[in-house]
Amino acid sequence: MDPQYQPQRIEREAQAHWDATGAFRAVEDPSRPKYYCLSMFPYPSGKLHMGHVRNYTIGDVLTRYYRMRGCNVLQPMGWDAFGLPAENAAIANSQPPAKWTYENIAYMKRQLQSLGFALDWDRELATCDPKYYRWNQWLFLRMLEKGIVYKKTGVVNWDPVDQTVLANEQVIDGRGWRTGALVEKREIPMYYMRITDYAEELLAALDTLPGWPERVKLMQANWIGKSYGVNFAFPYELDGERREMRVFTTRADTIMGVTFCAVAAEHPLAEAAAKRDPKVAAFVAECKRGSVMEADLATIEKAGVPTGIFVTHPLTGERIEVWVGNYVLMGYGEGAVMAVPAHDERDFAFAKKYGLPIKPVIDVGGKPFSTDAWQAWYADYGVCVNSGKYDGLDYAEATDAIAADLHQLGKGDKQVQWRLRDWGISRQRYWGTPIPIVHCDACGDVPVPDADLPVVLPEDCVPDGSGNPLAKRADFVNCKCPRCGKPARRETDTMDTFVDSSWYYSRYCCADNARSMVDERVAHWMPVDQYIGGIEHAILHLLYSRFWTKVMRDLGLMAADEPFTNLLTQGMVLNEIFYRKSANGRITYYNPADVEVRTDDAGKRAGAILKADGQPVESDGIGTMSKSKNNGVDPQALIEQYGADTARFFIIFTSPPEQSLEWSDAGVEGSHRFLKRLWTFCHAYRDAIAGTVPRVMKGEHLPAGWERTHPRLAAARREVHEVLGQVNYDMNRFQFNTVASGAMKILNALAARTSVSDDSVALAAWQWVLAEGTGILLRVLAPITPHVAHALWREIGYGADILHAPWPEPDPHALEQDEITLVVQVNGKRRGEIRVPKDADATAIEQLVLANEAVRRYTEGKAIKKVVVVPGRLVNVVV
């Protein structure tokens, strides 16, 4: 056994052993419980960053833990390989995205392998591989047949200079990131998936997911956004024609307080008004500038313009003016809203700005109302006033009565409204799955026949940032109509990359099947037992995956209702973001490793400079490590300097998995030092315990009563088993940082509390406690630092392979104590402690405490009001 800890050698040997034995190849085996452990697959951005290391280490800890618990574990890996960064890299380097992507995959795969993850590489997949994305196309066609896919127009960001559609990320302060041109909204035809058909089930089924974090379920529920209200019509006349403007409201009880209405710029009423009034036309045009992002729309200054069109209030018959409002969203509800300034904060602000009337119609427990300033309670539920026949009704009564009256008039009804919108999947981009449609002048939009799948994406394109590269490829575009055989044009839009990631988990079960999307092995492995990934995916990716699973189920492809039984949302790994903005508004991000933060004489921060040129750079705060913000930290240096086990231990030890983590490598030394100590410790005692190890592993015990003759050894053993109990608790609640601490505590207990005297009984007990404790320690460490655990397990002779060792359980006998320590408080302040027999009752404890000298100093001359005894913990004397 090497006296020095040599991680590089140990890790090479352990990995070679796992490779040679095919240790992580998962085979369907009905005789053992299956455990499908999946971490979100990475985008091949170039190098791993710390977020990846954290994600995959967490997944690997669970994988190895469940293996030791006796499960047949599948942990696969693949590549979310289509996407925008590859096109950006292509523009920067004049290289096809395919070449860049495959090179990145090769490099990152080596990095993952060097970290020793227990992955079944036989099931590896990449979404940019036609063998994968043909099934995107195949399922798209099935969904088209079922009416789940349909075509309609949608709004996109348009860069008028590059003549290209921009992603939201590429719009910075309303301008194109490369050209600096003001971005415009543009309506184009796109394909949509009817996720709203599944809204009810996606919401209700959240209750069937006890293994999901509450916060994620809450976010999804709010996103789906089921609300109950009333949908009704305001009739109006335009150009001699009778029309209706429909609105939805959750506050029908305030309908008598409507003083105006507002419509979105894209609403037909706004468009009609724009034709008659140049001021309206100018405002509508103004609204069409800027990005389509909701965060932008929600934070812009509320503005509007009157259309000069009046509608009739369906209950009062009043004339109500319609305004165009830049805050009304066409995508939600009817694209038109009734405005009740007295009871809605946005309407209030709008009414104040344009001098519109404000009419209070709800009394909230008599709280005062003033049109001077908005108060939070104006929006509370209350009782109708100023509302004619509805006066005195509460929210539910008024809503019922008003809905009934509207129904009677044929003007409206109660309605369930969803916030969720259908999923637009068309992207005017090159590096994605081609949408399998052919456009024929005679036949229209014709689906590509299954026999012609996949529609293969040419891999030699080099995008230049303008237009749509696929549209420029005559060899791709020009084709024959599958229906009539005449010349036709292939669809050049590709699919949203969320399509790729919505079902990859089921493809891992049967990645080698060339004839069908999925097969019977999906029934064996699905659903995923444990899914691990960043909290940033709490809504979109997870919701799309849930939707896709239900679609596959309804098409008879999969039995599971839900894809992921348990979900662990890992906190983001954050790092500071540095950038410079050029004259035309173009932003360049700089990696923190290339930036030096300056401090003044007082040690205060005084800006930052780029090391390369000494010129200042701006800080954009801290944010999640990403390619686009160039603030990732490459783990390679860490792995090379300290080894994979140190990197894994450190990332686990430094923070609980669900908590976001501001990256700092301060403390890596401590993790490395611990592994060195572990090695030195095992090396020092190996010979002493080697003979005892097989007896411990066979389950033999020391002679009864040894604890009384060797109290120090018994205390050490008790601590090992106490910590083990805590470790097991923490393992099951995913608090791996305290599992790592627990390993350190076990080593401390074994190293510090055990010493041996000359007599042979003590020697035997010492060897026994050490042999048992070290065996526990190595198994606790095996999921976190598998290489060193593997090497030491073999070196000391515990067994051939720690992968197959059973997970340890604490011995209840080791935890027994005759006396326990209670904390004594007087008036809630800690004033001492007291030793009591473990089974002392409350009365006995109370007497002991009141007789205690330390307590008497504080109770002397005071009346004792009460004594609170918390069993096993403390006693509080109230005076």
Partner RNA sequence: GCCCGGAUGGCGAAACUGGUAGACGCAAGGGACUUAAAAUCCCUAGCCCGCAAGGGCGUGCAGGUUCAAAUCCUGCUCCGGGCACCA
Query: Of the two residues 482 and 656, which places its CB atom closer to RNA in the complex?
Result: 656
* Amino acid at the residue 500: D
**Can you tell me the distance from the alpha carbon of 374 to that of 351, in angstroms, rounded to the nearest whole number?**
11
Query: Of the two residues 405 and 719, which places its CB atom closer to RNA in the complex?
Result: 719
**C-alpha distances in Å from residue 163, one per residue of 183, 753, 831:** 11, 73, 76
**Least Cβ distance, residue 483 to RNA (angstroms):** 27
**Left, alpha or beta for 333 (phi > 0: left; psi -120 to 50: alpha)?**
left
**Can you tell me the distance from the alpha carbon of 537 to that of 456, in angstroms, rounded to the nearest whole number?**
29
Query: Of the two residues 316 and 588, which places its CB atom closer to RNA in the complex?
Result: 588
In the numeric block, which tokens belong to residue 308? 């000069």
**Pseudo-torsion of CA 390, 391, 397, 401, nearest 10°?**
0
**Least Cβ distance, residue 91 to RNA (angstroms):** 14
**Least Cβ distance, residue 331 to RNA (angstroms):** 7
In the numeric block, which tokens belong to residue 813? 């006998």
Q: Quick one: which H or E segment has residue 499?
A: helix 497-500
Query: Of the two residues 278 and 828, which places its CB atom closer to RNA in the complex?
Result: 828
Coil, strand or helix at 773: helix
- Residue 527, preceding peptide bond in cis (omega within 30° of 0): yes
Strands 226-238, 241-249: pairing kind: antiparallel
Name, in order, each residue with C-beta under 8 angstroms of 588's C-beta and a sequence gap of 6 or more: 579, 580, 582
**Least Cβ distance, residue 431 to RNA (angstroms):** 8
**Can you tell me the distance from the alpha carbon of 693 to that of 704, in angstroms, rounded to the nearest whole number?**
19
**Least Cβ distance, residue 497 to RNA (angstroms):** 5
Coil, strand or helix at 380: coil
Give the DSSP letter string of 445-489: EEEPPGGG---PPPS-----SSS-GGGG-HHHHEEE-TTT-SEEE
Contact present, 406 and 230 (Cβ < 8 Å)? yes
**Least Cβ distance, residue 496 to RNA (angstroms):** 5
In the numeric block, which tokens belong to residue 531? 């899914």
Query: Of the two residues 150 and 729, which places its CB atom closer to RNA in the complex?
Result: 729
Query: Of the two residues 540 and 764, which places its CB atom closer to RNA in the complex?
Result: 540
**Least Cβ distance, residue 430 to RNA (angstroms):** 11
Query: Of the two residues 506 and 876, which places its CB atom closer to RNA in the complex?
Result: 876
Q: Give the number of other Cβ atoms within 10 Å of residue 391's Cβ.
A: 14
**Least Cβ distance, residue 165 to RNA (angstroms):** 5
Contact present, 341 and 360 (Cβ < 8 Å)? no
**Least Cβ distance, residue 258 to RNA (angstroms):** 21
* Amino acid at the residue 512: D
**C-alpha distances in Å from residue 658, one per residue of 52, 87, 223, 262:** 14, 32, 21, 43
Query: Of the two residues 255 and 652, which places its CB atom closer to RNA in the complex?
Result: 652
Query: Of the two residues 219 and 385, which places its CB atom closer to RNA in the complex?
Result: 219
**Least Cβ distance, residue 729 to RNA (angstroms):** 6
Give the DSSP letter string of 714-766: HHHHHHHHHHHHHHHHHHHTT-HHHHHHHHHHHHHHHHHH----SSHHHHHHH
Query: Of the two residues 82 and 798, which places its CB atom closer to RNA in the complex?
Result: 82
Query: Of the two residues 242 and 866, which places its CB atom closer to RNA in the complex?
Result: 866
Query: Of the two residues 125 and 273, which places its CB atom closer to RNA in the complex?
Result: 125
**Least Cβ distance, residue 169 to RNA (angstroms):** 3
**Least Cβ distance, residue 406 to RNA (angstroms):** 26
